[in-house]
Amino acid sequence: MEDEMILDKLVCPVCGQHRFEEKGGYEICPVCGWEDDPLQRREPDLAGGANKLSLNEARKEWFEEVYREEDEE
């Protein structure tokens, strides 16, 4: 159970489809391109830093793109 909790913290906070090697290690998600910035995890409305968009803005754009692709199929 504890291992599952640790792994959940490693999941990309934007797309949820990639597990980072370490939380906040500035690794780039190969699925959505998000760079895992610990400051932006703590302050999801903060734009700038490792990513141009805030975490919340990136999530919104990601889900809009996913739904757009589903509608096109």
The CB density around residue 57, as the number of other CB atoms within 10 Å, is: 15
Task: Give the model confidence (pLDDT) of 6-54 as tens digits.
Answer: 457 899 999 999 999 998 899 999 999 999 999 999 999 999 989 999 9
Q: What is the pLDDT of residue 1?
A: 44
Number of domains observed in the structure of the chain: 1
- Rounded to the nearest 5°, which phi and psi values hold at 64? -60, -40
Q: What is the pLDDT of residue 40?
A: 94
Q: Which residues of 33-43 are buried (b: 16+ CB within 10 A; e: fewer)?
A: ebbbbeebeee
The domain of 57 spans 2-72
Contacts of 23 by beta carbon, 8 Å cutoff, 6+ apart: 9, 10, 36, 38, 41
